Amino acid sequence: MRPSRTARRRRLPTAAIAAVAALSAVPGFTSAASVAPRKAKSVTLRLGYFPNVTHATALVGVQGGVFAEKLGKHVKLETKTFNAGPEAVTALLAGAIDATYIGPNPSVNAFQQSHGAVRVVAGAASGGAYLVVKPNIDSAADLKGKKVASPQLGNTQDIALPSWLKQHGLKTDANGGGDVSVIPQDNATTLDTFRQGAIAGAWVPEPWATRLVDEGGGKILVDERSLWPHGQYVTTDLLVSTSFLKPHPDVVKRLLEGQ
């Protein structure tokens, strides 16, 4: 899909990108490609992902049996789905899962919150996020005084949305105030509230953007690719807890082979 109106090209804050890149350079990180083979033993890998097109790597890997095949008979794969990054981070830091596919901003937050107890071991997807709005919205200025949804407080799109609004002179705050009210909510709820007219738009990943257009009668105001050099930006990476990575680098290596 292409936006019905070209958004002004800009660079989003680069701190998150730099931080994600730096995670793999932190002392103690082991590249999956350089892992020495270990003697086979039974282990369980608890893997998180989101039911979004931006997590197609995980969707195909899990549902198509690719991960299970690559992991082998000595690794039991258990999966759990999440709506957005902060929810997955909570599970990862609580020890409820060992690894998760996740956006770059929550990855940075997890690294900071855990004091380095997680590692980004690979990228997984680029692109696939859009700002979908009601048909009568033709510019950022038209959103003033209105409500716009994001998937969850602190997730990647929740960071991108206020940043884009700020670039267009519109203020927001974490409590839903300002010129535009940013409302973090579950993607399924966003579809319902958009159809009901309770929100004017939403910055969401696929397939929710397409569903807002097809089922909610919306239109694309911003294709996030238009905001980045060469149209490329990280949407999804693979984040692993060091408590799992250190004793099982071979398992992580095989997971990456499946990816």
Q: Structure tokens of 251?
A: 């398992």
Encode pLDDT of 199-244 as tens digits: 999 999 999 999 999 999 999 999 999 998 888 888 899 999 999 9
Encode pLDDT of 84-128 as tens digits: 999 999 999 999 999 999 999 999 999 999 999 999 999 888 888
The domain ranges of the chain are: 15-127+234-258, 129-231
Helices (H), the chain: 15-23, 56-63, 66-71, 85-93, 104-113, 156-167, 187-196, 208-214, 242-245, 249-258
Characterize the bridge pairing of strands 129-133 and 201-205: antiparallel
Length, in residues, of the chain? 259
DSSP 138-152: -SGGGGTT-EEEESS
Three-class DSSP category at 226:
helix
Degrees, nearest 5: CA angle 212-217-223: 50
Is the per-residue pLDDT at 9 higher than 50? no
Which residues are registered as beta bridge partners of 147?
181
Give the chain's mean pLDDT.
Answer: 87
Contacts of 12 (CB under 8 A, 6+ apart): 160, 163, 164, 227, 228, 233
Q: Structure tokens of 181?
A: 């009210």
pLDDT (0 to 100) of residue 98: 98
pLDDT (0 to 100) of residue 39: 57
pLDDT tier for residue 36 given thresholds of 50, 70 and 90: very low
Domains 15-127+234-258 and 129-231 share a fold: yes
Q: Residue 256 and residue 259: Cα distance in Å, rounded?
A: 5
Q: Is the Cα dihedral 258, 20, 153, 221 positive or negative?
A: negative
Residue pair 133/197 in contact by the 8 Å Cβ criterion: no
Class (C level, CATH) for 129-231: alpha beta
Residue pair 166/238 in contact by the 8 Å Cβ criterion: no
Question: What percentage of the chain reaches a pLDDT higher than 90?
Answer: 75
What's the CATH number for 15-127+234-258?
3.40.190.10
Nearest CA to 156 out of 138, 130, 135, 175 is that of: 130
pTM over 0.85: no
Is the per-residue pLDDT at 34 higher than 50? no
Q: What is the mean pLDDT of residues 35-61?
A: 84
